[in-house]
Amino acid sequence: MNKIIIFLAVLGLHTHSFAQTKSIWLDDLKIKSFSEGIPAVLGKTNAGGDSMKINGKLYKHGVGVSSTSVLSFFLDGHATEFSAMVGVDDKGVKDLPLKFYVIGDKKILFESGEMKLGDAPKPVKVSLLGVKRLGLLVTIEENGFNRSYSNWADAKFIMKDDFIPQTMPNTDEKYILTPKPDKKPKINSPKLFGARPNNPFLYTIAATGERPMNFAVKNLPQGLSLDSKTGLIAGKVAQKGTYTSTLMAKNAFGEATKELKIIIGDTIALTPPIGWNGWNSWARNIDREKVIASADAMVKMGLNQHGWTYINIDDAWQGQRGGVFNAIQPNEKFPNFKEMADYIHNQGLKLGVYSTPMITSYAGYIGGSSDFADGKITDSIKNNKRAFRYVGKYHFEENDAKQMAAWGVDYLKYDWRIEVPSAERMSAALKNSGRDIVYSISNSAPFSNAKDWAKLSNTFRTGPDIRDSWLSLYLSAFTLDKWASYGGHGHWLDPDMMILGNVTTGSELHPTRLTPDEQYSHVSLFCLLSAPLLIGCPIEQLDDFTLNLLTNDEVIEINQDPLGKPARLVSDEDGIQIWVKPLEDGSYAVGLFNIVNFGKTPESYFRWGDEKSANFALNFNKIDLKGNFRVRDVWQQKDLGNFIGSFKTNIRHHGVIMLRMFPQNH
């Protein structure tokens, strides 16, 4: 018997191969949890939810994917084989070449070559003996194609025991860099704030430090008043103009001051909105209690004292059309809507809601248009909601804007397949509503109309819905340099919500799949881009690491800088991206990102567990910064010294070194 075992070992076979094996169809797994792409991943159908067909042949088993697709599996040596038939779905895009890869522990086990619509499916059968980590990859050129459907048909694992394929481990240390705030007061709210004449004004002085704390303001414009205990400034200013006030916060340990420039004019959202959105926390299960709990948690966790302001309800709050304005009314999950808004405002926070110019929203609720003059939703629409995702004959923007203003809404997320006429109508309606409502248009704004989005909206989505993966983060944020010139005061680039904490992106509530290093990169780049910062997880569930990520005032200050210029990508060489953002005081925010040539090889799409950091020398001349600079690490809130010409550092895999560089006189 021992001789047989030795003989099998020499042949590279495992003695337990005689044990009974087990097949697992890919579509029997919770496949969405394995997907790191942005579009839908569906089991037993194509990515559009239709029958899975390749070159006319129907498949009952398999996984349908779209666009560039990354499926990651942790097998830990328990699988023996993977097999499938791969090809472009019959409802895919003509003449669009795709490539399929199977990669095990950094080795390409299968490569399809280019495949197009109409090509015969190709068989995959690879040994997985000893493979710990497996990646299934489909690549295309990312040019915004819809219906770029491809299929892993009849895909299955052969397992040698009862082990079930797992998602990739994400157990790296959640290291905390930011020191805790001092007991002395520090004012963290924006230095710049805009409002329209005679509209309700609400600005809260956010300040860290030991409580109790008292607030004061010098040179407050006529029509505004301050609550000295809460720091809430409210009222109305009639006269257009620029007003410079001095904010003051005082406690038993000291006093802090900060200059605030108030501009009463035509432009609001002079700094990017910063707050919370409920979709990636609760999706369709949002209700009044969860919104109130989020506002309470914003205060209890102290996020409000770092400038976090908005509590935004996403899709699924809408009921029927009615009321004094014949506007969208809340459904049964949101009783006493005005009372809820008042409660949020009384805490110094602001309220946001969701709508769409389509007849029905993406979650199937009533929208801002109708094919009927009264705007009502009929039973036929309710029973076939997906068929009514288009803009109807009759429009109700003015009705809905007036109702939002009456409730005290401060933010509108407007979500549809964006086109200019609908964007214009709601933009005008909000401006005429009598209230300053930040206008955020959502769902892949076409770049060809970038000037229109900057003119019409306060924030505009630059891509599709984000997912909690490095691939999604990379496509959503690291590719935005071409958009940067269109971002600025009152019109900010929006890469979507933040993917930190516990999120529901694409599947049930789960911890973000970003590594700690990737989370630092995520927050850093969003702040460098002057993007809206909208927390996408349940606030009350924040752990110490995530809370620390969200409460670094020096990082947030870069996002809220009054100059309002998004960072530009100034270098992308040897796996390191360098983004530079000029700041109002003449300093520069610089992000050094170790992207490790992501996307340039099939293997680079996956996390293999042996990732390494990179040594890097920042050459100041190469990024057009000349001379002597005081360099500060903003995550550690620590000066690193004065440097002439260059600066050396070590950057973790998919991590960041975020600097603030202050020019020094020679």
Residue after which a domain boundary falls, among 562, 593, 610: 562
Same-domain check for residues 201 and 281: no
Q: Give the pLDDT mean for 78-91.
A: 97
Same-domain check for residues 60 and 77: yes
Burial of 440: CB neighbours in 10 Å, binned 0-12, 13-18, 19+? buried
Pairing of strands 99-104, 107-111: antiparallel
Helix (H, G, I), strand (E, B) or coil at 515: coil
The catalytic site residues sit at 415, 465
Same-domain check for residues 124 and 240: no
Number of domains in the chain: 4
Can you give the pLDDT at residue 143?
59
Can you give the pLDDT at residue 630?
98
What domain range is 136 assigned to?
17-159
Cα dihedral 43, 45, 47, 49 sign: negative
Cα dihedral 601, 604, 610, 612 sign: positive
Record the tokens describing residue 546, joined without a space.
């995530």
**Does the pLDDT value for residue 5 go beyond 50?**
no
Q: Give the pLDDT mean for 415-434.
A: 97
Which CATH number fits the domain that encloses residue 59? 2.60.120.1060
Which CATH number fits the domain that encloses residue 608? 2.60.40.1180
Residue after which a domain boundary falls, among 562, 581, 613: 562
Are the beta carbons of 12 and 19 closer than 8 angstroms?
no
| pLDDT band (50, 70, 90) for residue 246 | very high
| pLDDT band (50, 70, 90) for residue 1 | very low
pLDDT digits (tens, 9 = 90+) for 118-159: 999 999 999 999 999 999 999 997 655 567 899 999 999 999
Same-domain check for residues 298 and 341: yes
| pLDDT band (50, 70, 90) for residue 379 | confident
pLDDT digits (tens, 9 = 90+) for 253-306: 999 999 999 999 999 999 999 999 999 998 899 999 999 999 999 999 999 999
Record the tokens describing residue 377, joined without a space.
């939703």
DSSP 304-339: GGGT--EEE--SS-EEEEETTTTEEEE-TTS-SHHH
Same-domain check for residues 546 and 579: no
Same-domain check for residues 556 and 575: no
Which CATH number fits the domain that encloses residue 357? 3.20.20.70
**Does the pLDDT value for residue 353 go beyond 50?**
yes
Same-domain check for residues 135 and 72: yes
Distance of alpha carbon 573 from the chain centroid: 26
Can you give the pLDDT at residue 6?
44
Same-domain check for residues 254 and 133: no
Residue after which a domain boundary falls, among 506, 538, 562: 562
Same-domain check for residues 332 and 215: no
pLDDT digits (tens, 9 = 90+) for 316-333: 999 999 999 999 999 999
